[in-house]
Amino acid sequence: MSELRGSMMDFRAPGQETAGGQAHGYLSLPPAGTGPGLIVLQEWWGLVDHIKSVADRFAEAGYVVLAPDLYKGKSATSPDDAQRLMMALDLPFAAQALGGAAEYLLAHDAVHPKRVGVLGFCMGGQLALYAATIHPEMFDAVVDFYGVFNPNVPVNLKALRAPVLAHFGVHDASIPRDKADRLLRDMAHAGAECDGYFYEAGHAFFNDSRDVVYNAQAAQLAWTRTLEFLHINLEAH
């Protein structure tokens, strides 16, 4: 993993009264100095160096990237700890905080054009979709890497305005094909613009910090498709 080039910062987040109305995140700027905004959302491990490096990669590709710290400084190294942190996360509360992240990017001098996308992995993919239904006016593109909705959280898919790109692994034991197909079908029935792709890979195939799950071929193809999608929806307007 290359040296991280971004930095931690604070932004105003609705509902974060216990933290003085502030949330924290990792901000990475593009070499050109300006670009569209992109929010990158963590897996269940937290805002670890892998997610920061992903933010840096998107910044290198021309985006002003903010990766919010959804666990407020905590992270996990074991699945049990990650499960506990994820279960303690209030999804509607986190989605409201993402509205603050989008507002921060839209007000940032480096964000031009004034368009924001949201992208997430697993838990973060679910949250990216959910946030785009809560704040449909704020997001211009959504990318979901192997995330599906928690059935206990009510979601109004008809509120989705932004186009969606979704990536899933055919051999994902955590998100079986039928669950991914159901999500894509539900979004289509709700009138959402959505493209879904399936890869000969398992869960978390984009995570190059974990050799046991990383699939270089699938990750590269998903990366290329994601950059094309973001260019069309955030830049080519």
Which residue from 126, 143, 145 is spatially nearest to 70, judged by alpha carbons? 126
Q: Residues 69, 108, 122, 135: which is the catalytic one?
A: 122
Per residue in 104-129, is it b (16+ CB within 10 Å) or e — as a string? bbeebebbeeebbbbbbbbbbbbbbb
Start-end of H helices in the chain: 49-60, 79-88, 91-107, 123-134, 177-189, 216-230
- Find how far residue 57's CA is from the centre of its chain: 14
Partner residues linked to 194 by β-bridges: 164
Place of tokens 């785009």: 132
Within a 10 A sphere around the Cβ of 181, how many other Cβ atoms?
13
Residue 63 tokens, joined: 């985006």
Among the options 50, 56, 172, 194, which is catalytic? 172
Active site residue 203: yes
Catalytic residues: 122, 172, 203
